[in-house]
A and B are shown apart, each in its own frame.
Chain A
Amino acid sequence: MTPLDSLPLWLAAPVAALLVIGSTLTVLGAFGLAHLRSFYDRIHAPTLGTSWGTAAILLASILAYSWVQERLVVHEIVVGICVMVTTPVTTMLIGRAALHRDRKEGAAGVPPSRRARGGAAKG
């Protein structure tokens, strides 16, 4: 028996729904990561998990624990802020690394660099 069992049904239903939505979005993202053909398609897949996948699960936790502890529990927001701020940085850098490597190898289907290298890439 956990304290979560004391939730009333009207609150347990949205918490359960948010948990299901969040985990489903994350697994769809991971499925896309495993399934899609090209790298530039695959880079879109994990953003499902990092946007509403994370947000839904954090919201579920906020709702549930605010009821259990009888005060507003919002420390989950820190994880949300952390994920929201850090994911674009990693995604951009991985994307740029892939672009750089593909251009260096002269792979087909990659747009050419707009300028010669040097002074670049700091943006």
Chain B
Amino acid sequence: MSRFLPHPLLSLGLVFVWLLLTRFSLGHLILGTVIAGFAGWAFARIEPDRPRIRAYLPLVRLALVVGLDIIRSNWAVALLMLTNGRHGARNSAFVEIPLRLRDPVGLSLLAMIVTATPGTAWLEYDAETGVLLLHVFDMIETDDWPALICGRYEARLLEAFEE
């Protein structure tokens, strides 16, 4: 299994994309599977470590939470644009957040979440100390953000990838 399919998730995703881009048929399924298997094998030469996912349930719950958060913060940022930043009262700030998460896949997922949510931007991550530098568009309370990122997103990623 691991010899022939070094990256099963990647290959599965590639088959999925291949079938989306072409009409679904048996021929395309076989062709896509062959190409995806080959691509996974080629990718193993670049990146031999496959991502280790311990539990899938936290990821599903995380996806729901993130989906809701993105809708909510889209609305909030759009309102801020329309009202010219609450008529000049909006403050933006840099926030430093110490992270416990060390898994590279988990970190990249966290980066995707933080960046895809309007209002927060991931600027820099220090791999040695694990401190993340975040820029927050609408800063209301200073101590709110580390708790929010850690409790809402990081805890679930830790469950899925490390514990």
Residues of B within 8 A of A88 (CB): 111-112, 114-116, 122
A4 at the interface (CB under 8 A from B): no
Interface residues of A in 39-56 (CB under 8 A from B): 40-41, 43-45, 47-48, 50-52
Complex contacts, B82 vs chain A, CB 8 Å:
28
Interchain CB contact (< 8 A) of A48 among B17, B92, B118, B133? B118
| Neighbouring B residues of A110 by C-beta, 8 Å | 94
Contact B81 A47 (CB under 8 A): no
B47 interfacial contact with A, CB 8 Å: no
B74 adjacent to A48 (CB under 8 Å): yes
Known: A25-B74, A115-B128. 16 other contacts (CB 8 A): A28-B78, A35-B81, A40-B121, A41-B137, A44-B77, A48-B78, A51-B70, A51-B74, A52-B71, A81-B17, A87-B116, A88-B112, A91-B115, A92-B115, A99-B123, A119-B128
Query: Please, which residue of chain A has its CB at the minimum distance from the CB of B107?
Result: A123
The majority secondary structure among interface residues of chain B is mixed
Interface bits B14-50 vs A (CB < 8 Å: 1, else 0)? 0001001100000000000000000000000000000
Chain B, range 78-106, C-beta contacts under 8 Å to A: 78, 81-82, 92, 94, 96
Residues of A within 8 A of B71 (CB): 52
Binary interface encoding of chain A residues 36-75 relative to chain B, with 1 for a CB under 8 A from any of its CBs, else 0 = 0010110111011011100000000000000000000011
Task: Tell me if A40 and B17 are in contact (CB < 8 A).
Answer: no
Cβ A120 vs Cβ B116 within 8 A: no
Interface status of B145 (Cβ within 8 A of chain A): no
List which A61-107 residues lie within 8 A (CB) of chain B: 74-75, 77-78, 81, 84-85, 87-88, 91-92, 95-96, 99
In Å, the complex CA distance between A84 and B119 comes to: 16
Q: Assess whether B116 is in contact with A95, with CB atoms less than 8 Å apart.
A: no
B92 contacts which of A38, A51, A92 (Cβ < 8 Å)? A38
Q: If the complex has contacts A38-B92, A111-B96, are A47 and B125 also in contact, measured as CB distance less than 8 A? A: no
What residue in chain A is nearest B82 (Cβ atoms)? A28
Assuming the contacts A28-B78, A32-B81, A44-B118, asked whether A95 and B137 have C-beta atoms less than 8 A apart, the reply is: no
**B115-A87 in contact (CB<8A):** yes
Residues of B within 8 A of A41 (CB): 92, 137
Sorted from nearest, which 9 A-B pairs have the closest CB atoms?
A88-B115, A44-B137, A47-B118, A123-B125, A95-B123, A52-B74, A28-B81, A123-B127, A88-B112
The answer for the CA separation of A120 and B121 in the assembled complex, in Å, is 19
